[in-house]
Every structure is written in C-alpha cells, then in structure tokens.
Chains A and B, each alone.
Chain A
C-alpha cells in the first residue's frame, strides 16, 4: 500500500453530460479520484449526484465525454470487463441455484468452470450458506441475497470491486448486521473497493478514504482520510472522533446543497 504503487483504479477529470429536452444536462464535472491496492474508498453525496453514472463509466457501459478511466494501470475508458460489481438490488438470476449464480459470474471473469464451482461451494460454506447452495435464490431473505451478491463480486478476479449502495434496500437492523459482516470479510481479503452510499455512518465505519461529492453536476468537494485503525470494530461510531468527522461531512454535504440552491 505504498503511495508510489500505481492505483488499481484512477479517474482523471471525467466529465459526462446527457441531453435532456435538447439541452445539455451535465452530470459529472471533472471528477478525479483513485483507489489504491487493497483500499476501501467510498463516494458519498446527495441523491442525484450522478454516482450511478460514474459507475457506468467505470464499468465501460458508457463513455465519458472527457477524461480517462484507468484500471489495473492501463487505460480502459469505455472498455467492459475490468470490474466486479454489486448492485443495489441483489440481482441474482432466479433460474440459477445460489451456487450457480456465483460460479457463472466467475466464468465470465475467465475462471474455469470446475474451479468456479469449487470456489462457489467452498465460500458459501465459509459464510454459512452452504446448506442453501443448491436452492433457488427466492428462498433467501433480502440480507442473505445481498451476502451472495457480495460474495459473487468478491470472488471475481478483477482489479476493482464496485459496490453501488448495496445495503440501501435493507432494514436498519439487517443493514448494521451486513456492515459488520462485510467489514470482517473485507478486512480478511483486502480487495480494492469503490463503494457508494448515502449514509455517512456507513462510509465512516467501512472506508479508508472517502470522497464527498456535490449535488449534480457532481464535483469532488473534499477527500477525507478516515483515521480509525484496522481491524476496525463495527461499533467505531461510539468514538468522539467519529462524531466530529460525521459532523464535518454533514456540513460539507449541506454546503454543497446550499451552493447549488444559491446558483
């Protein structure tokens, strides 16, 4: 994790606008950010700040108007197949077993079929879902579906994991549970993660660094290093420093929103 190492993901001055009612509608305004090897980086911003668009650009589903996307030290602007992805909805295929949902995603990333099946069953066992590996996903609760979805992203051998508000649809209790679970699993595996959330607590609990985005068109308002040591406890929110940081981020977000209104 040296500063000199090439970042796993790097965005340089990425801009994107859509045309709506024949007028350009800017969504992203010269966004620059990076994720280093084994780093957990969070994007936080008000809703409608173009975070999903940013993910589509990183995933290569769309091309930026300006700027470049570099993944694994190579320019990949507009190229697909360099990231693994966990969307807001679990997005498991209802006609595949839980294990097949994971192993099929692994084969897309170039893992051999036998190895993919072995990894899927081994890891499902490890996260305590071994007994539902052969079931269809609809038998799982929302929280369990999200665990499978996370595992699917974790096991894909890609340079960056992009997690798009993965816990937004869960109830508060399940959400806290999932955060602790993800923290444990991630700290053991240390993948490079770009995480999007609305929740300041979630961002501060999980990440090494966070970028605070403004309301659309999104700019990076500030980059904040989260000082709490690893391995991190899930109850880190009880610390006074946590509360101070939370206030700082909240103020930034509010200011960003006000600046927008003033215009």
Chain B
C-alpha cells in the first residue's frame, strides 16, 4: 500500500514533466520555431553535452559562492533569532531596519554594493547574507517562542536555568521552524547568487547566462537555466535531507502510536 502510493507520488510528476518536454519538442519541430526564439529540448541537450566541461566549471564556481553565502546567512539568521529571543527589546528596535533590507529589490541593491565594496567577493556575500538570513531568522524566532507551554511550566517548576530552558526546550522545539526557513533560504539563495554574478563576476553560471543572453545564444541561456534549476532543487533536497536527519523524534504517521500498553 505504502509503496504503491510512493510510486504514484514519484510517477505522476515525472510523467507530467516528460509529457511537457515531448509537447515542447513537438511544437518546435512541427511549427519550425527559430532556435534563437525557442530551441527544442533535444538541441538544448546537445548544446549542454558539447559545452559540458565549461558548464560544470561555472556550476562549481556558483555552487561554492552559494554555499558560502548560505552558510554565512544561516549563521547570521540563527544568531539574530537567538539575540532577538533572549534579549527583549532588541527585536522591536531592529525589526524596522531588517524589514527594510528585505524590501529593497536585489537588482537595485546589487549595483550599490558594488559601488561601495568593489567587484570582489565581499559585495556578493553581503547580498547573499541579506537574502539568506531573513527566512531562517524569522521562522526560527517564531519556533523559539512557540515551545509547548506545559513543558515550559515544568521547567519553571523544577527551577531550570535560562540556559537549560533554551537548550532542553526552546532550541529543539524551534528545529522544525528552523528547517522551514532553511528550505526557503536554500531556494532563494540560488536566485540571489545568480543575480550577484549577473551584476559583476567573471565566473559562474550567472556570468555564463549574461554572456549567452547578450550573444543571442538561446540554447546557451536554456542550458544555464537548467543548471540553475537543478542547483536550486539540489539545495532544497539537501535541506530536506538535513531536516529528516535532525528531527528523528517525531512519530512516523504510518506507525501505530502508543504501541505498548501499561
């Protein structure tokens, strides 16, 4: 039963995707669409195969930048959540500024950062941290405050210290929210890293995208897009995997609950 629904869950979206690619291919061939407007999937695949070494190199460069940005962003996010949670007043004081940073379009912020910090790694990292830290910080902050009241009451009654309440109750209770934020961040970070590279870089898949776009090499543009989507999916998958590894205490839905009697 479980494997059957599992199959269906995997087969249905895969089938839709294959159908979509087939319709695309058929349209390009039957309607004789110009390749510089919309290349057929088969010719994109051929282009990717021919340009594989270069694409891999660019992808590797982008991956490293994204990992640095996500790492820093998540670290800042967790630190901000803890700071806001533990010291009352900080949240109220700083949230307007933080909300403002989240409302400035990346496209506008990027060139400014380059003006201020040059073309090196620093402006790109700042951009990435600004994008990555927010979902983590805000989800985790909500999670820290939502720990079970009766567990909180228990710890108060036995006289647990603030640190014990944080470590034993609030941090573990905030993990599910933290991972919700991490999954959002993982997806956003790839878009942000492409924007960062678009604005000023000599390497990376975002840079590759700019070159191909300016040269009307639509096959190249699509090749880059596929790499970007694959990278975003891989990031999301990695975050989901980490979540499953970290949160193992939740009963699985299929397992019977309270199996043993008193």
Contact = CB atoms under 8 A, between A and B. Distances in A.
B215 interface: no
B258 A84 contact: no
Interface string A62-87: 00000000000000000011111101
A83 B160 CA distance: 11
Interface of B: 150-151, 153-161, 164, 168-169, 172, 175, 247, 249-251, 257-262
Interface in A4-54: none
B134 to A, nearest CB: 26
A179 interface: no
Contacts of B260: 132, 139-141, 144
A59 B260 CA distance: 33
Please list the 6 inter-chain residue pairs (A to B) with the smallest Cβ-Cβ separation, ordered nearest first. A81-B159, A143-B262, A80-B159, A85-B157, A59-B157, A95-B172
A109 B158 contact: yes
A56 B158 CA distance: 10
Nearest to A149: B154
Given A104-B168, A136-B249, A85 B154 contact: yes
A156 interface: yes
Contacts, number: 84
Given A94-B250, A139-B260, A141-B258, A61 B172 contact: no
Contacts of B151: 91, 93
A162 B168 CA distance: 22
A89 interface: yes
A132 B175 CA distance: 25
Given A141-B262, A144-B262, A83 B168 contact: no
Contacts of A104: 168
A184 interface: no
